[in-house]
Chains A and B, each alone.
Chain A
Amino acid sequence: MDGPDGQVSDGARQRLPRGVRLTHNESQGGWVLLAPERVFKADAITAEILKRCTGEATLAAIVDDLAATFAAPRERIHADVAKLLAGLAEKKLLELG
């Protein structure tokens, strides 16, 4: 759940809500997040994170997976991912389950 200070907890199972879709488009230069009346370019790292927001994996599981896949320090990834997800939730681009 979303904490009082906008933090995402380790047990949160986030997913893209209906009406928000991640898609790849060559003409637009790569990954894009499509939302009501808005289009956001997503860099490769953001796309890797969003692909894992299936509503099933918890934040902790996503961080573990990314740390293993990209052989990067878990703490750093945790901070970056939690911040990105909280920002997206605030813009209604992500549901925190």
Chain B
Amino acid sequence: MTTNGATLSAPLGLLAELTHRCPLGCPYCSNPLALDKRDDELDAATWERVFREAAGLGVLQVHLSGGEPVARRDLPEIVRAAREAGLYNNLITSAVGLTPSNLATLSDAGLDHVQISIQDSEEGSADHIAGYKGASARKRAIAREVVSLGLPLTVNMVVHRANIGRIESMVELALSLGASRVEIAHVQYYGWALKNRAALMPTREQVDEAVRQVEMLRARHHGQIVIDAVVPDYYARFPKPCVGGWGRRSLNVTPAGRVLPCHAAEIIPGLEFWNVREHSLADIWRSSPAFLAFRGTDWMQEPCKSCSRRDQDFGGCRCQAFLLTGDARAADPVCHLSPHHAVVAELAADRKDAAYAYRTS
């Protein structure tokens, strides 16, 4: 089956944003600046239906995220529904709000994996970044609890100018907590991160050193911990294959039920998103205007249209193309073939040690 010149593939992953509520204020939060309200959140029964429909479409993994998913009192019910639908379920949490007892309840409900964010290996700095005093100590305690329950733990560390020099100690911390996997994720500049870009952006030298550190640490800890790194794309020559291609591998459901091809897609003007309250997930995946807009390659302009990498990086990120060039159909300007590529270097050079604009709800 084809839509817009693309073979319609089965999605692999569903990002379920259960709520936008969160106790932390991280200045790089990927949530939109305008957050969904608590009263608009989908109830557990609707999530249960969405999970069944997702499994029917071929989705294998569901990422229970937010905001802070633990802010939902009915989270055990939601975890159980995901497991019963046959999905591999991954809790993406700040760990603030989790206790040993509610963690055990979630584990019994069928959780497969837990990912905890840690802001820095230095506790004072970590709490400053999160905008929450005592967050770091609580995260470490819950991380140990996850491991003691026998659940696999990933530690996610978002890297930016304030902590980029401590990648080695952050990986050592993840190891000491018993994590089997660590994500070194350089900030991606959307939402709150875009607002704080000048305060977060590292220098090219720092990024090069960070890449060397990750290579060294991978060799040192080979077989002990898996180190995945998300590259900082403002300093790249080619764009990232954002979400593995628009409408090709994954979908994102917002707290209020809108289905997006990626979590930032709502910043692109003129896209029409369908809601799970009104449509089945299969219908949305196949026919919703937002998914059709950039699926496949028919929408491309030059230099993407005739590029040999067009099926490899899919023109990069549509949101970034829009944010930095004003045209969502343009090549992601991170690509050195983009006529707007110089803009990226200019923006990366704009660094100011200003106070963070913390995410607020």
- Hey, which chain A residues are within 8 Å of B181, CB to CB? 36-37, 92
Give the contacts of B133-178 with A (CB-CB under 8 A): 150-152, 154
Q: How many residue pairs bridge A and B at CB < 8 Å?
A: 57
Given A39-B12, A92-B226 in contact, is the A19-B86 Cβ separation under 8 Å?
A: no
**A67 close to B (CB within 8 Å):** no
- Hey, which chain A residues are within 8 Å of B343, CB to CB? none
Which of A23-31, A51-59, A73-81 faces chain B? A23-31
Give the contacts of A42-60 with B (CB-CB under 8 A): none
Q: In the complex, what's the smallest C-beta–C-beta distance from A56 to chain B, in angstroms?
A: 18
- Hey, which chain B residues are within 8 Å of A82, CB to CB? none
Using CB atoms, name the residue of chain A closest to B107: A18
Using CB atoms, name the residue of chain A closest to B226: A92
Using CB atoms, name the residue of chain A closest to B56: A27
- Hey, which chain A residues are within 8 Å of B86, CB to CB? 23
Please tell me if the beta carbons of B152 and A39 are within 8 angstroms of each other in the complex. Answer: no
Using CB atoms, name the residue of chain A closest to B224: A92
Whole-angstrom CA separation of A37 from B154 in the bound complex: 9
- The one of A28, A90, A92 that contacts B60, using a Cβ cutoff of 8 Å: A28
Whole-angstrom CA separation of A21 from B180 in the bound complex: 16
Q: In the complex, what's the smallest C-beta–C-beta distance from B106 to chain A, in angstroms?
A: 13
Please tell me if the beta carbons of B12 and A91 are within 8 angstroms of each other in the complex. Answer: no
Please tell me if the beta carbons of A36 and B58 are within 8 angstroms of each other in the complex. Answer: no
- Hey, which chain B residues are within 8 Å of A21, CB to CB? 88, 112
Please tell me if the beta carbons of A91 and B226 are within 8 angstroms of each other in the complex. Answer: yes
Whole-angstrom CA separation of A89 from B222 in the bound complex: 11
Using CB atoms, name the residue of chain A closest to B86: A23
- Hey, which chain A residues are within 8 Å of B152, CB to CB? 17-20, 36, 92
Give the contacts of B61-103 with A (CB-CB under 8 A): 61, 86, 88, 90
> How many B residues have CB within 8 A of the partner chain?
23
Q: In the complex, what's the smallest C-beta–C-beta distance from B20 to chain A, in angstroms?
A: 22
**B57 close to A (CB within 8 Å):** yes
**B223 close to A (CB within 8 Å):** yes
Please tell me if the beta carbons of A32 and B226 are within 8 angstroms of each other in the complex. Answer: no
- Hey, which chain B residues are within 8 Å of A89, CB to CB? 223
**B228 close to A (CB within 8 Å):** yes
**A34 close to B (CB within 8 Å):** yes
Q: In the complex, what's the smallest C-beta–C-beta distance from B266 to chain A, in angstroms?
A: 24
Please tell me if the beta carbons of A36 and B154 are within 8 angstroms of each other in the complex. Answer: yes
- Hey, which chain B residues are within 8 Å of A27, CB to CB? 10, 57-58
- The one of B57, B90, B150 that contacts A37, using a Cβ cutoff of 8 Å: B90
Please tell me if the beta carbons of A25 and B151 are within 8 angstroms of each other in the complex. Answer: no
Q: In the complex, what's the smallest C-beta–C-beta distance from B250 to chain A, in angstroms?
A: 11
Q: In the complex, what's the smallest C-beta–C-beta distance from B145 to chain A, in angstroms?
A: 15
**B113 close to A (CB within 8 Å):** yes
Give the contacts of B217-233 with A (CB-CB under 8 A): 222-223, 226, 228
Please tell me if the beta carbons of B90 and A25 are within 8 angstroms of each other in the complex. Answer: no
Whole-angstrom CA separation of A19 from B146 in the bound complex: 12
Q: Which of A6, A34, A91 has the most CB of B within 10 A?
A: A34
Whole-angstrom CA separation of A5 from B228 in the bound complex: 24
Please tell me if the beta carbons of A18 and B150 are within 8 angstroms of each other in the complex. Answer: yes
Q: In the complex, what's the smallest C-beta–C-beta distance from B294 to chain A, in angstroms?
A: 22
Q: Mark A62-97 against chain B: 1 for CB-CB distance below 8 A, else 0.
A: 000000000000000000000000000111100000
- Hey, which chain B residues are within 8 Å of A32, CB to CB? 60
Q: In the complex, what's the smallest C-beta–C-beta distance from A30 to chain B, in angstroms?
A: 12
- Hey, which chain A residues are within 8 Å of B10, CB to CB? 27-28
Whole-angstrom CA separation of A36 from B183 in the bound complex: 11
Whole-angstrom CA separation of A89 from B180 in the bound complex: 12
Q: In the complex, what's the smallest C-beta–C-beta distance from A86 to chain B, in angstroms?
A: 10
Using CB atoms, name the residue of chain A closest to B223: A90
Listed A/B pairs (16) with beta-carbon separation below 8 Å: A6-B223, A18-B152, A19-B112, A23-B86, A25-B58, A27-B58, A36-B90, A36-B115, A36-B180, A36-B181, A37-B115, A37-B154, A37-B183, A91-B226, A92-B180, A92-B181
Q: Which residues of A contact B (CB under 8 A)?
A: 6, 17-21, 23, 25-28, 32, 34, 36-37, 39, 89-92
List 16 other contacts, CB 8 Å, given A25-B60, A90-B223: A6-B223, A19-B112, A19-B113, A21-B112, A25-B58, A26-B58, A28-B10, A28-B58, A28-B60, A36-B112, A36-B113, A36-B115, A36-B152, A36-B154, A36-B181, A89-B223
